[in-house]
Structure 1
Amino acid sequence: MLAFYILFLLFSLYHEVAATCPRKCNCDLSRRVQCYRIGQMPKEIASTTRQLYISHSKIKQLQISDVNQMSALEEFILTSSGTEAVERNTFKALAALRILELWKNKLRCIPTLLPANLEVLKLGDNLISVLNESDFEGLKRLRVLDIQNNLILALSSSTLSSLSRLQSLILDGNNMESVSGPLSLHNLKYLSMANNKLQKFPGRFFTSLHILLFLNLNGNLLTTAPPDLPQSLLSLTLERNQLTMLKSEDMKKLANLSELCVSENQLSSIDEVQFISSLTRLEVAGNKLQTFPLHLPTALQKIDCSNNLIEKIKAHDFHDLQDLKHLFLDKNVVKTFEDGALQRCKLLSNLALEQNLLSSIPLSLPHTLARLDLKGNNIQRIQEQELKNLKQLQVLNLRNNKITALDHGLLEHLPRLKHLYLEGNLWNCTCDLFRTRRVLTAKGTDVKGGQCFAPAENKGESWMSSKRFLRLCIHDSLYAGEDSSKTRKKANADNPSTHMDDYYDYETD
């Protein structure tokens, strides 16, 4: 009986809510209202509404009368609605308001006299050009401030000085040219000023940020890393700047740094990172390194040195990197890879060597490898000693080399192979490849490519799927009488990932 009574109350309440819900809006029992493609602020919104979401509408101006009856409103989100102005004091009386998001509109200034209980303010993708100290007066509880993709050219530290509890500040994409400091935000943990036009930071700008954990300065015009960075930093990203060097004295202070990203700069050396003993991730792609960095921190788990000018990998380069799991050396000019250079990397699972000048697969690779990318090299032949230790390999990319044959016996060394890429080679389609085809099909390996280059009558056909090639070799004495099509269908049924195209999309076990 009680359950029936509760259901009756809920049913009645639902109909009451539905009856008072504005047109083109959805209302639910949690006092949330969602409106889409409306032409003006709804007048029928209940005073008990706690959350109001409006998007893709045409609301040129917000007025006090639009929201003043919503005394219980905690969250107001108005996006992509062409809003150009907010009447003075519109939100002042909304004492319960904690979250205000007005992004993707046409606002030219920050709304005035915002309620004191506000915790999140997001104004990204507007036309705001100036920040005033008065804009943030009284916001003692504000934790998140997002003003990305506006027109702010300069930042004065005093402008934000009243935001004593601010934890996250996002100022990306403003074409900002200058800042003044120090920035006195003692509770700030996340600061992002990416995609601006900053050439330098004044001394002591960061010194008051004692608990800052993440700093993103990608896409600026910096020639050196900022001075006086806080020791608390865990992540520092300086990609797409104009860095020519990293200063030892700056790196030595970053005792807790775990992630350093300096890709797409002008660095010819990164020897200074040896002082960051806690570093686990280093990204230095797209620079001017001619040799692999020496004396790297031993805690590193990921190194990205792709798109540089590295010619040779030496055995001692990785001697102390026993925690390394991911190594990217693609798009270099590596011609020599010394035998056993990676054999001490007992945790390595992902090795990218694509688009280099290798003529063979490096020897004594770690048995832990799950992915090996060798696309776009000069490899002509695959030999047993190159693969015999790779029992865990799941993805092998051999695209765009000069390989003519693949002995089916080699596949015995790759029991877990799931994905094999063969396009762009010079396959000589003899019945020896038919044997390889049968082994791959039986294993359920997803094979991409394998177009014949020779003999001429088979050119362009795939030795993995051509019915003509199948007929020519079906009477081979080792496999006579077997139904290859049934085997292939079963393998495909057991392997649901066979239609995915790019090996980077695959997850290994």
Structure 2
Amino acid sequence: MFYKLKTFLVLLLIILVTKTGPTTACSCSTSCACIGEGLSSVPKHLPTGITSLNLRNNHIANISQSDLSRYRGLTVLILSYNAIGRIQSVAFSKLTRLTSLLLGHNELTRVQAGTFSNLPELRVLDLSNNNLNYIQTGVFLHLPKLIELYLSYNKITSIPQYAFLNLHQLKTLYMDYNDITNVQSGAFFNLSSLSHVYLNANNVTIIQAGAFSNIPQLQTLKLHDNQISFIHSAALSDLTQLEKLDLYRNKITSIQTDTFTDLLHPQSMDLANNEITQIQPGAFSNLPKLKMISLKSNKISTIQVGTFSNLPRLKRLFLNSNKISTIQVGAFSDLSKLQILDLSSNRITYIRLGTFLNLPLLNELSLSNNEITKIMSAAFSTLTQLDTLSLNDNNIQVLSGYDELSLISNVALHNNSWQCDCRMAPFRQKMTGYASFENQITSLGNDLAVSAINAYGNDGKVAIPADFEEQGINKYENDEEVAIPDDSEHKPDNFYENDEESIYGNETEEAMSAVSQAQSIYGNETEEVMSAASRAQSIYGNENEEEMSAASQSIYGN
């Protein structure tokens, strides 16, 4: 009799285990983890005293009150990565101690009002990666301690008024990657603790006045990757504590003077990848704590004086990949704390004096990939802290200011259109081989000699490098005649700026400069230099033989 009873009890136990599912596969102590066990419902024979239940990555489709009522001590419930399409309105009503409820990556299309009622301790609610298309008013009404709400990656199209009413402790709201086209006035009404709002990657087109009113503590607002073309002047005016504003990859065309009025605390502002053509002077005024502005990849053509005024703490300014061709003198003069300035990939052709005035802390300046042909001497002389200067991929033909560049640790000059003629001779004279940028100006030595022979002629007394013929010297067809540059007669009198010497003028002093240049190129033998002087005379038109003789004696003596 005893043997039969024992056998019956064993069989009964086997039947119970089989009917309730694979409970032995769940790892349990004070918490239970039943991850990826193929469950189609919530196990009902787990220890009732557990505080955490992880049912992630199963096949559960419905949640009812009876599924969870026996686990009243739960503080953490993870139901993500299931197939949940329906939740009974009172399903979680007995879980009064619950602090975290994760329902992400399911198939929810709607959540009824009252679904989350009687969860007074809930801090984190994750509804991301579902198929929700609207937010029912009152669905979050009874969550007085909720801090984080995740609604990302759904199909929500709008945010109705009072959608988040009474969430007085909410600090972070994720609504990115939805289909939201409009943010109604009052949508965030009375969210007195809200600090971070993520609305990026939606279809928002306009930011209306009052859209972000009554959010006094907001510090981060992400609106990037939308379709925003216009920002109402009062849309952001109440965000007095805002520190980070991201508006990149939208369709904004202009920045008005009152767009960012009253934003006293922004530290970074990203407006990259828009369609901005114009920034009104003063648009960024009165942003005393702003440290970074990115305006890269827009359609800006001119930087005016006053565009970046009253920004005493700005350290990084990105203006690369625009259509900038004009920078007014003094446009950056109010940026005394600026450390990084990126102007690469624009249409700048000329760097004039005063362009980089009053930038005492500037450390990195990028002007690469522009159309620069000329840089005024001393254009960078006031940038005493400059460590990196990028001038590569331009159309620079001639450089002056060797001493100025040699003080900068990292200078990039490669891929320019060097014209190594006598205008480069003063620069060449100072090349020692020690500056890192020298080897980026290719074939300077031989090309200078070729150009000098083209200008001064060669009577056989000047030493010619053996490889000149390979370099194509015969293409100059110089022979015994002096070659005068084809366009010399067409150059206006003021063609050369005051900071560079003209090699086509008629003054004796200029002719002597050519003699000096020829001396450094061809050596110091009197007969050779005087031959060059004779050719210089024929170029510069100096008919006063006594003056030239005196000039020669001043160099070599009697």
- Superposed pair shares fold, TM > 0.5: yes
* Structure 2 letter corresponding to 1:207: F
Q: Is the 8 A contact 2:373 2:394 kept in 1?
A: yes
Partner of 2:321: 331
Over 3 Å counting, the alpha-carbon distance change for 1:414 and 1:173 in structure 2 is same
1:151 CA displacement: 0.8
* Structure 2 letter corresponding to 1:257: L
Report whether the alignment pairs 1:199 with 2:185: no
Q: Is the 8 A contact 2:75 2:99 kept in 1?
A: yes
Report whether the alignment pairs 1:414 with 2:408: yes
Partner of 1:286: 273
Partner of 1:85: 61
Report whether the alignment pairs 1:213 with 2:206: no
CA distance in 1, matches of 2:194, 2:298: 31
Over 3 Å counting, the alpha-carbon distance change for 1:355 and 1:276 in structure 2 is same
CA distance in 2, matches of 1:383, 1:105: 67
Structure 1 unmatched runs, 5+: 1-39, 442-446, 458-476, 478-509
Q: Out of 146, 150, 157, which is 1:170 matched to?
A: 150
- Helix, strand or coil at the partner of 2:378: helix
CA distance in 1, matches of 2:54, 2:361: 51
Q: How many corresponding residue pairs?
A: 405
Query: Once the two structures are superposed, what CA deviation does each residue of 1:237-280 show, in whole Å capped at 9, x if it has no partner?
Result: 32233333222333333333333333312342332234224142
Query: Once the two structures are superposed, what CA deviation does each residue of 1:44-96 show, in whole Å capped at 9, x if it has no partner?
Result: 65642447484xx4635353247x22734436373xx3534366444444444
Q: Is the 8 A contact 2:332 2:356 kept in 1?
A: no
Partner of 2:337: 347
- The structure number with the bigger radius of gyration is 2
Q: Out of 283, 295, 319, which is 1:305 matched to?
A: 295
Structure 2 unmatched runs, 5+: 1-20, 448-519, 521-558
CA distance in 2, matches of 1:103, 1:397: 50
* Structure 1 letter corresponding to 2:225: R
CA distance in 2, matches of 1:451, 1:102: 65
CA distance in 2, matches of 1:342, 1:315: 7
Q: Is the 8 A contact 1:285 1:305 kept in 2?
A: yes
Q: Is the 8 A contact 2:200 2:226 kept in 1?
A: yes
1:432 CA displacement: 5.5
Partner of 2:77: 100
Partner of 1:495: none
* Structure 2 letter corresponding to 1:74: S
Q: Is the 8 A contact 2:161 2:189 kept in 1?
A: no
Partner of 1:76: 54
Q: Out of 363, 366, 370, which is 1:370 matched to?
A: 363
* Structure 1 letter corresponding to 2:349: S
Over 3 Å counting, the alpha-carbon distance change for 1:359 and 1:87 in structure 2 is same
CA distance in 2, matches of 1:432, 1:103: 70
Over 3 Å counting, the alpha-carbon distance change for 1:421 and 1:411 in structure 2 is closer
CA distance in 1, matches of 2:383, 2:85: 60
Q: Is the 8 A contact 1:379 1:403 kept in 2?
A: yes
Q: Is the 8 A contact 2:113 2:136 kept in 1?
A: no
Over 3 Å counting, the alpha-carbon distance change for 1:105 and 1:311 in structure 2 is same
Over 3 Å counting, the alpha-carbon distance change for 1:452 and 1:357 in structure 2 is same
- Helix, strand or coil at the partner of 1:135: coil
Q: Out of 308, 312, 321, which is 1:318 matched to?
A: 308
- Shifted more, 346-355 versus 82-91: the winner is 82-91
Over 3 Å counting, the alpha-carbon distance change for 1:456 and 1:409 in structure 2 is closer
Partner of 2:436: 440
CA distance in 1, matches of 2:150, 2:144: 16
Over 3 Å counting, the alpha-carbon distance change for 1:312 and 1:43 in structure 2 is same
The alignment's TM-score, normalised by the length of structure 1, stands at 0.68
Query: Once the two structures are superposed, what CA deviation does each residue of 1:324-344 show, in whole Å capped at 9, x if it has no partner?
Result: 112121222111112332232
1:117 CA displacement: 1.9
CA distance in 1, matches of 2:108, 2:363: 49
- Cα RMSD of the aligned pairs, angstroms, is 3.7
Partner of 2:510: none
- Shifted more, 248-257 versus 308-317: the winner is 248-257
CA distance in 2, matches of 1:128, 1:257: 34
Q: Is the 8 A contact 1:425 1:450 kept in 2?
A: no
Partner of 1:148: 128
Over 3 Å counting, the alpha-carbon distance change for 1:145 and 1:46 in structure 2 is closer
CA distance in 1, matches of 2:97, 2:369: 58
Q: Out of 6, 29, 44, which is 1:48 matched to?
A: 29
CA distance in 1, matches of 2:269, 2:350: 27
Report whether the alignment pairs 1:273 with 2:268: no
Q: Is the 8 A contact 2:281 2:304 kept in 1?
A: no
Partner of 1:4: none
- Helix, strand or coil at the partner of 2:77: strand
CA distance in 1, matches of 2:171, 2:402: 55
Q: Is the 8 A contact 2:26 2:32 kept in 1?
A: no
Query: Once the two structures are superposed, what CA deviation does each residue of 1:176-234 show, in whole Å capped at 9, x if it has no partner?
Result: 12343312122222222222222224443222212222222223333322535224122
Partner of 1:484: none
- Helix, strand or coil at the partner of 2:245: strand
* Structure 2 letter corresponding to 1:64: P
Q: Is the 8 A contact 1:313 1:337 kept in 2?
A: yes
CA distance in 2, matches of 1:455, 1:62: 83
Q: Percent identity?
A: 24
